[in-house]
């Protein structure tokens, strides 16, 4: 199961906007002769859609299991990417690549978040850290690979190649053997929204919104920012791979530290947000390839209008850094707030597949961490650590 989810995370990272965004950003902008603002809408739509379909994907998982949902998501993503390769204009590309492709990736993403929690409980933090480190490997591999595909087959050919790659989700999803339901209660709801009445969960959602508002900006603009400093295209694309290397190491380290109870996952999460956000703001003062690479190690969408207004990428990085830090600080009151008793649907998340109420398992929260003090059994996963 760990190997399967590792592979799913690796290829999912390629399908989502994190890896090829900076490279495809330049290609889309030049091919369609559009502004930075419109281009950023295209590359951020896939991420926004991916993280917005959680409730829908959750209902599908409850009804059909992670196996069926993953296979279906793979087919939808393939259709979206293949159609995007023949997009005649930016609007069609936005729909095919951003919305259709993002919808399919979102289905796979939710299953990848949930399936580990269904199989592991005692060593869940470590298991999640190992499994999700596949996304770091994906960033390492697919940055240079995207550049090579574009150079040899143009971005149209690269999109077709990605469409074929995401079909591997069908094979991976087929190996997700459903766990027998151990819930003894009758009439379990497919969708339960009572979790939304918990103030702590609301703060987590606000934190997730803030972090995601800035998280993808460096992925989108780091390549173009490096080119402005005179870095060649291949070296610029490798900056994303450097983020991937640090990301992979960070995930494994986070899972190990939390599992061994060396570091509290709450402190780790807030600290990572503050450090990552500060590093993002400091990136605006880096002018050499070595310093940019150092930022990518530390760092481990809707900001295109900032680029158009200020004719540079500094404002976008300042914005990203600030909202990421604010996202981490927003979670601090959770430590001292008392909420209602978690609903059964959440408490049994590892014993069954009733996860629609988790609302996409809050992808940008706490990686490889299980908050048994606040919401027993509630697992929240993050691309941050």
Confidence (pLDDT) at 86: 93
Distance (Å, whole) CA 360 – CA 347: 16
Distance (Å, whole) CA 178 – CA 333: 37
The verdict on residue 221 lying in a domain is: yes
Rg over CA atoms, the chain? 20
Please check whether residue 367 is in contact with residue 251, taking contact to mean a CB–CB distance below 8 angstroms. yes
With cut-offs at 50, 70 and 90, classify the pLDDT of residue 71.
very high
Confidence (pLDDT) at 304: 37
The verdict on residue 318 lying in a domain is: yes
Mean pLDDT over residues 111-124, rounded? 76
> Could you tell me the residue range of the domain that residue 364 belongs to?
2-380
Span of 41-55, 56-70, 308-322, 328-342 with lowest mean pLDDT:
308-322
Most confident of 95-109, 205-219, 260-274, 355-369: 95-109
Please check whether residue 28 is in contact with residue 46, taking contact to mean a CB–CB distance below 8 angstroms. no
Of the two residues 305 and 57, the one the predictor is more confident about is 57
Q: Length of the chain in residues, anyone?
A: 385
The verdict on residue 165 lying in a domain is: yes
Look at residue 8 and give its three-state secondary structure. helix
- Token pair 């940055």 is found at 143
CA 15 to chain centre: 10
Tokens of 5: 């989810």
The verdict on residue 385 lying in a domain is: no
With cut-offs at 50, 70 and 90, classify the pLDDT of residue 65.
confident
Distance (Å, whole) CA 309 – CA 287: 21
Tell whether the model's pLDDT for residue 72 goes beyond 90. Answer: yes
DSSP per-residue letters across 265-292: HHHHHHHHHHHHHHHHHHGGG--SHHHH
Task: Provide the CATH number for the domain around residue 9.
Answer: 1.20.1250.20
Please check whether residue 109 is in contact with residue 173, taking contact to mean a CB–CB distance below 8 angstroms. no
Distance (Å, whole) CA 110 – CA 106: 6
Mean pLDDT over residues 287-310, rounded? 56
**Can you count the helices (H) and strands (E) in the chain?**
17, 2
Output the CA–CA distances (angstroms, integers) from residue 92 to 44, 96, 119, 233, in the order listed: 15, 6, 40, 27
- Number of domains making up the chain: 1
Tell whether the model's pLDDT for residue 311 goes beyond 50. Answer: no
- Token pair 């069926």 is found at 68
Tell whether the model's pLDDT for residue 93 goes beyond 80. Answer: yes
Please check whether residue 231 is in contact with residue 223, taking contact to mean a CB–CB distance below 8 angstroms. no
Of the two residues 77 and 375, the one the predictor is more confident about is 77
Output the CA–CA distances (angstroms, integers) from residue 250 to 134, 151, 300, 370, in the order listed: 12, 31, 7, 17
The verdict on residue 344 lying in a domain is: yes
**Which residues have CB under 8 Å from 327's CB, separation 6+?**
206, 207, 208, 209, 210, 211, 213, 214, 273, 277, 364
| Burial class, 197, CB count within 10 angstroms (exposed 0-12 / middle 13-18 / buried 19+) | exposed
Confidence (pLDDT) at 354: 37
380's enclosing H/E stretch is strand 379-380
The verdict on residue 69 lying in a domain is: yes
Confidence (pLDDT) at 333: 79
The verdict on residue 280 lying in a domain is: yes
Confidence (pLDDT) at 110: 85
The verdict on residue 128 lying in a domain is: yes
Distance (Å, whole) CA 200 – CA 195: 10
Tokens of 98: 């951003």
Buried (b) or exposed (e) across 325-360, using 16+ Cβ within 10 A? Answer: bbbbebbeebeeeebeebbbbbebbbbbbbbbbbbb
Whose CA is closest to 364, among 124, 16, 7, 4?
16
**Which residues have CB under 8 Å from 375's CB, separation 6+?**
198, 200, 201, 339, 342, 346, 347
Confidence (pLDDT) at 379: 38
- pTM confidence score: 0.63
Distance (Å, whole) CA 140 – CA 213: 23
* Average pLDDT in the chain: 71
Span of 25-34, 98-107, 230-239 with lowest mean pLDDT:
230-239
């Amino acid at each position: 199961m760990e190997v399967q989810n590792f592979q799913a995370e690796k290829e999912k990272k390629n399908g989502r906007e994190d890896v090829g965004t900076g490279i495809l950003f330049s290609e889309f902008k030049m091919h369609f002769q559009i502004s930075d603002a419109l281009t950023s809408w295209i590359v951020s739509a896939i991420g926004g859609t991916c993280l917005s379909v959680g409730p829908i994907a959750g209902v599908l998982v409850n009804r059909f299991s992670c196996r069926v949902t993953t296979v279906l998501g793979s087919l939808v993503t393939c259709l979206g990417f293949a159609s995007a390769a023949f997009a005649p204009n930016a609007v069609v590309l936005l729909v095919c690549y951003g919305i259709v492709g993002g919808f399919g990736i979102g289905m796979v993403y939710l299953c990848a978040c949930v399936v580990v929690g269904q199989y592991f409980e005692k060593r869940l933090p470590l298991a999640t850290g190992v499994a999700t480190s596949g996304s770091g490997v994906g960033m390492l591999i697919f940055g240079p690979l995207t550049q090579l595909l574009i150079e040899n087959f143009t971005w149209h050919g690269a999109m077709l190649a990605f469409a074929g790659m995401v079909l591997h989700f069908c094979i991976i999803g087929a190996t997700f053997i459903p766990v027998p339901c151990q819930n003894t209660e009758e009439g379990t709801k497919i969708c339960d929204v009572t979790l939304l009445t918990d103030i702590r969960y609301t703060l987590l959602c606000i934190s997730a919104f803030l972090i995601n508002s800035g998280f993808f900006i460096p992925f989108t603009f780091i390549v173009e920012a490096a080119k402005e400093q005179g870095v060649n295209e291949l070296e610029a694309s490798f900056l994303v791979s450097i983020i991937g290397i640090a990301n992979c190491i960070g995930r494994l380290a986070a899972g190990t530290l939390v599992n061994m109870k060396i570091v509290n996952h709450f402190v780790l999460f807030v600290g990572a947000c503050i450090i990552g956000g500060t590093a993002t703001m400091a990136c605006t003062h880096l002018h050499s390839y070595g310093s940019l690479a150092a930022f990518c190690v530390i760092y481990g969408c809707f900001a295109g209008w900032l680029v158009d207004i200020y004719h540079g990428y500094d404002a976008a990085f300042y914005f990203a850094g600030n909202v990421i830090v604010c996202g981490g600080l927003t979670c601090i009151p959770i430590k001292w707030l008392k909420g209602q008793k978690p609903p059964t649907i959440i408490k049994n998340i590892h014993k069954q597949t009733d996860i629609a109420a988790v609302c996409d398992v809050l992808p940008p929260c706490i990686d490889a961490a299980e908050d048994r003090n606040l919401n027993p059994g509630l697992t929240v996963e993050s691309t941050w650590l």
